[in-house]
Chain A
Amino acid sequence: MDLPSAAPLPEIEPAQAAEVMIGFIRSQMEQTGFSRLVIGLSGGVDSATVAFLAARAIGPENLLAVRMPYRTSSEASQTDALRVVTALGCQTELIDITPMVDPMLAVMEEGEGAELNVRRGNVMARQRMIVLYDRSAQFDALVVGTSNKTESLLGYGTLHGDMAAALAPIGDLYKTQLRAVARELGVPDEVVAKPPSADLWPGQTDEGELGRSYESLDRALFALVDRRWTVDRCVAAGLERDLVEWVASRVARMEFKRQLPPVAKLSLRTPGIDHLYPRRRPGSRR
């Protein structure tokens, strides 16, 4: 299908964007007082890109890439993750989450089909978070996040799972922009070119699960979010109404995943309402 040029993909200057993200990571390290990062490396393009950015920012010796397959994870993902580790020369560790996840799955008797798949996927994502935060304490590091803007806006991630992180270098980068940045950084072609997958069950792909291509999702998101277009204007520009309405509704429904929970205000100064500080200030550096 010819996608409309009137509703374009978001553009990116890969080299410039990479420099900004590298500067951001360095500044976060400096401001927090940490010098190391730990990342969950899946073999996909998102975590590979963040690993490359992190290695450029702080040196590969200060990056610990943790590979955390479940027994159903694909072999190809593990091969690709190793490719990234080899290309970077960073530290790495392999931790099979199967013996941690299976006892939990065994007590999840109710539910079936897609819903059960999502629940199982959430357990895996949260187990990986537990491993990463443990390793971050052991390695004296911050957990660097790998969520991109497309996922974040669509809420396609597990709260307190893969979304848990101390900093989010690619959180303002759409999936289609990310590939250009990955190529610029030298992420191996095999990793950049393959279909994106959360790899939570065999044969799963993001685009299969979301039911839309990243290209059409990003066109709709860019129009709705960055350009503040109405649904009607998106449709007039040639985007399919079903797609745009689905995206708009999903962005609204998933708002809760992008914010801290609301606090019931009782006092004169309430965190998040009228007790507002930058995360890092004198005294907050460890």
Chain B
Amino acid sequence: MEYRIALAQTAPRLGDIDANLSVASDAVRRAAVEGAALTVLPELALTGYLLQDLVPDVAMRADDPRLRALANDAPGMLVAAGFVEETDDHRYCNSAVLVRDGEVIGIHRKVYLPTYGLFDEGRYTRPGDRIRTHDAGAPVGRIGLSVCEDFWHASLPMLQALDGASLLVNLAAGPSRAPGGSAGLAAIAGWHKMQDTYALLGTVPIAFCNRVGNEEGLTFWGGSRLIAADGSTVVQAPLWEEALVFGSIDTDDLRIQRYGLPLLADERLELVRRELDRIIRERAGIDGAEWPE
């Protein structure tokens, strides 16, 4: 069965939730006209990225009516969008929400908060502690949500693929590290290479939605993509510019792909767990392991 995905490569306005909600609902309406089953918006699409001490001012609870209303203009459509979440115990997280028909289907709290180089996320937000998939029913199936830097840790998409994901969705706010030269383009190529590899190794399609625009001195690069389970590019949005692009995924392809390339089925989970347990023990100096080594 074939379904369409819309990637809404927007340029969120810093701290302006109302303006960003309006951009999001506009994208959702346009995607509905095109028959999309899922619309993906970027990381922190509702708040902007360089929030610093604005974090508590723009935070929302997961059951905030504004989140639940994200897909109201498109009955039956799934919408994924990034926002600042305040949990019941007042942790502030960089989260992705998946909603449909006024109902929250899943939340992912960014697990890996980059705090190096031009990034300072760990100062303002707290990391999530769950890596899950969310059943969205036919045609999309199980969705594995992640946020930007999460994808630079191969364990996360691989766990989601093993957990039964039939689609990985990564929401990003990627500022170019060197937009003036070839180093910046090489970094973008690195992102794309990494996605191709995950699609291939996880035999799973990937929807990647990265924002554009400027905040302070940063320029966000866009280049949102839909990648099929064989690692091929279905559609790619332009660099640097706002765009709404569409691509299709055929779930029958996934059946055939996973029969021909049964990597997930062959995965040795018990073995991986045993070795992980050993590495954890040794790193922590448990069970008589030498320390420091």
Q: Once bound together, how far apart are the Cα atoms of A275 and B124, in whole Å?
A: 12
Given contacts A19-B240, A23-B219, A275-B53, contact A282 B180 (CB under 8 A): no
Judge if A16 is at the interface, Cβ distance under 8 Å. yes
Contact partners of B219 in chain A: CB under 8 A: 20, 23-24
Alpha-carbon gap, A279 to B181, bound state (A):
26
Q: Is the CB of B179 within 8 A of A17?
A: yes
Chain A residues near B213 (CB, 8 Å)? 27
Q: Contact: A279 with B53, CB < 8 Å?
A: no
> Is the interface on chain A under 10, 10 to 19, 20 to 34, or 35 or more residues?
20 to 34
| Residues 227 to 286 of chain A near chain B (Cβ within 8 Å) | 275-282
A residues 1-43 touching B (CB-CB < 8 Å): 10-13, 16-17, 19-20, 23-24, 26-28, 31
Please tell me if A206 contacts chain B, counting CB pairs below 8 Å: no
Please, which residues of chain B bring their CB within 8 A of the CB of A279?
216
Q: Does A151 contact B (CB under 8 A)?
A: no
Question: Chain B nearest CB: distance from A245 CB in Å?
Answer: 27
- SS class of chain B's interface: helix, strand, loop or mixed? loop
Chain A's closest residue to B218 (CB) is: A24
Q: Are B240 and A23 in contact (CB under 8 A)?
A: yes
Task: Give the residues in chain A near B180, CB-CB below 8 Å.
Answer: 12-13, 16-17, 20, 172-173, 177
Partner of A281, one of B14, B179, B181, B240: B14
Contact A13 B182 (CB under 8 A): yes
Closest to A25 in B: B214
Cβ-defined contact, B16 with A282, below 8 A: yes
A276 engages B52 (CB within 8 Å): yes
Counted as pairs of residues, one from A and one from B, with CB atoms less than 8 Å apart, the total is 60
Interface residue B154 (Cβ < 8 Å from any Cβ of A): no
Residue B292 at the chain A interface, CB threshold 8 Å: no
Residue of B nearest to A17 (CB): B180
Report B-chain residues with C-beta under 8 Å of the C-beta of A276: 52-53
B residues near A275, Cβ cutoff 8 Å? 53
CA separation between A125 and B197, bound complex, in Å? Answer: 55
Provide the bound-state CA to CA distance between A280 and B184, in Å.
25
Q: Which of A20, A26, A177 contacts B179 (CB 8 A)?
A: A20
Q: How far is the CB of A165 from chain B (nearest CB, A)?
A: 13
Is B288 in the interface zone, CB < 8 Å from A?
A: no
The minimal Cβ–Cβ distance linking A54 to chain B, given in whole angstroms, is: 15
Q: Is B149 an interface residue (CB 8 A)?
A: no
Q: With contacts A16-B180, A27-B214 known, is A278 near B240, CB below 8 A?
A: no
Which chain A residues lie closer than 8 Å to B136 at the CB level? none
With both beta carbons as reference points, the residue of chain A lying nearest to B17 in the complex is identified as A282
| In the complex with contacts A23-B219, A27-B214, A276-B53, A13-B14 CB distance below 8 A | no
The interface bits of chain A over 151-175 (1 if a CB of B lies within 8 angstroms of the residue's CB, else 0) are 0000000000000000000001100
A277 touches B182 (CB 8 A): no
B51-80 contacts to A (CB < 8 Å): 51-54
Mark contacts of B42-53 with chain A using CB atoms, 8 A cut-off: 1 yes-contact digit, 0 otherwise.
000000001111
The reply on B141 being an interface residue by CB < 8 A is no
B52 touches A23 (CB 8 A): no
User: Residue B217 at the A interface, CB < 8 A?
Assistant: yes
Q: Report yes or no: B51 in contact with A278, Cβ–Cβ below 8 A.
A: yes
User: Which residues from B are CB-within-8-Å of A281?
Assistant: 14-15, 54
Is the CB of B215 closer than 8 A to any CB of chain A? yes
A10-B181, A278-B215 given; 4 more Cβ-contact pairs under 8 Å? A16-B179, A17-B180, A17-B181, A278-B216
B-to-A contact residues, CB < 8 Å? 14-16, 50-54, 176, 179-182, 185, 213-217, 219, 240
Which 5 A/B pairs are nearest by Cβ-Cβ distance? A27-B214, A17-B180, A281-B15, A276-B52, A20-B179
Some 19 contacts from A to B, beta carbons below 8 A apart, are A11-B181, A11-B182, A12-B180, A12-B181, A13-B181, A16-B180, A17-B180, A20-B176, A20-B240, A23-B214, A23-B219, A275-B53, A276-B53, A278-B54, A279-B216, A280-B14, A280-B216, A282-B15, A282-B16
